[in-house]
Copies of this chain bind each other. A is one copy, B any other.
């Protein structure tokens, strides 16, 4: 889809724009760009276009080369006029009148007029956010007199743009009814992918076979994936994006796959035994990670600090490792030293919404409450979210256990202190050689009373998982 009307009522976008204007105050108008498609190898062969998330939030419109101006109580959508050639190559597409009604804006103007409009009005009366695609970002920077670095090299916003960023964060953190409807759609497709993946798995396939089985139901719903799928028997490779290992009898398969529903993300991880039966050691560790995840979810409610939930989940892991004899010592002391971070190396989760790591285009500004910053301790330093929870937020809860060779190698900087004083019992750990990586992840909505797991229909109790694995007729492609 490169030219699509909003799939939700105009009123919901109008309400968001009024709320934005009210947060932003009357001093400046907001100008948010949709961006352009990115070429894959030449200009006409593009990656599937996806509008900027802030633009999508405010308009619902799936269009390139557009910008929404929110100016007090007036909304103007700048976009290209219809190209007569489109009728030949792209068929009938909605026109300006339909976008005006569909997005509920007061006026549509030709995007070609934007530069003149900005010059006349004065760039300093506008607040904007840096587009993530380089073409828009460079053009936007020159039009508005911003001196941003290239995409991917950090975001340094001036006061005006920072105020817009904070206003967008304030809105987008708390999901409205339309947002929730989209998130539920993404969750349903994501669950279906995991059911298909478990059913399709059997030893002898390649990881790519399982990935293909998981992405098929997402594509069949006319959705895309929300991020690069991870489907691997090497769950300890946290950002594994290759799919060429053979799935062997005795392997655990870790799948982190989510659907994108009209721009809204699902994000679920499940880990299952390739042959349909956890080994005793796999089951022990699986149940430990599951206990950690369930303990974390049970804590979720408004007012709770997410960092405390992360630490509580880590404590369950630490206690479990002590119980198995892998770590020795007092759990409080182990936690203080970050010993559980040797195995549960990443953060417990992140906010989720239009972006799978919602608003990560703004760095930690969205994930970290004002005044809070990243910790320096290994493990905790990777936590993407440190806010007090509020009803309407959606977060992922995704503890894990990994044996990462580079981290755990004898003599490594990280393990040395724990080896030196006997905290780490490598003989006890060696018994778990068939557990390379486990992660269990759900998307959870914070409610007034506590929380609701949006992706609860993806099985995670060990018996339920075992019962599903390998049940598809032709488990291969």
Contact = CB atoms under 8 A, between A and B. Distances in A.
Interface of A: 1-2, 4, 36, 38-48, 50, 52-53, 87-92, 132-135, 138-139, 150-152, 196, 206, 208-209, 211-213, 215-222, 227-228, 234, 236-244, 345, 354-357, 359-361, 404-407, 473-474, 476-477
Contact of A45 (B43, B48, B227, B404): B227
Given A211-B219, A219-B477, 19 more contacts: A4-B242, A38-B38, A39-B132, A42-B355, A43-B132, A43-B361, A45-B227, A45-B228, A48-B241, A90-B239, A91-B237, A92-B405, A92-B406, A133-B134, A135-B152, A208-B220, A209-B220, A212-B217, A213-B216
Contacts of A244: 222
B42 A361 contact: yes
Contact of A2 (B132, B222, B234, B241): B241
A65 to B, nearest CB: 11
Contacts of A240: 90-91
B213 A88 contact: no
Q: Tell me what chain A mostly uses at the interface: helix, strand, loop, or mixed.
A: loop
7 contacts: A46-B228, A89-B239, A90-B238, A135-B151, A196-B477, A211-B220, A217-B477
Contacts of A39: 132-133, 151-152
A219 B228 contact: no
A237 B92 CA distance: 9
A150 B135 contact: yes
A43 B155 CA distance: 11
B228 A360 contact: no
Given A88-B238, A138-B150, A361-B41, A215 B208 contact: no
Contact of A357 (B44, B237, B477): B44
B220 A477 contact: yes
Chain multiplicity (copies): 2
A402 to B, nearest CB: 9
A90 B241 CA distance: 8
Nearest to A222: B208
Contacts of A228: 45-46, 48
Contacts of A218: 212
A137 B222 CA distance: 33
A1 B208 CA distance: 12
A36 to B, nearest CB: 8
A82 to B, nearest CB: 11
A44 B358 CA distance: 12
B44 A360 contact: yes
A150 B139 CA distance: 9
Closest 7 CB pairs of A and B: A220-B477, A134-B134, A87-B406, A91-B237, A212-B219, A212-B220, A208-B222
Contact of A1 (B36, B47, B241): B241
A439 to B, nearest CB: 14
Scoring A1, A4, A40 by chain B CB atoms within 10 A of each residue's CB, the highest score goes to A40
Contacts of A40: 47, 50, 132, 227
B42 A1 contact: no
Scoring A38, A47, A139, A151 by chain B CB atoms within 10 A of each residue's CB, the highest score goes to A38
B132 A356 contact: no
Contacts of A243: 222
Nearest to A236: B91
A220 B134 contact: no
A49 to B, nearest CB: 9
Contact of A133 (B38, B236, B359, B404): B38
A42 B206 contact: no
A63 to B, nearest CB: 14
A138 B345 CA distance: 37
A354 B41 CA distance: 9
A346 to B, nearest CB: 9
Given A47-B47, A150-B135, A241-B2, A41 B355 contact: yes
Contacts of A360: 42-45
Contacts of A132: 39-43
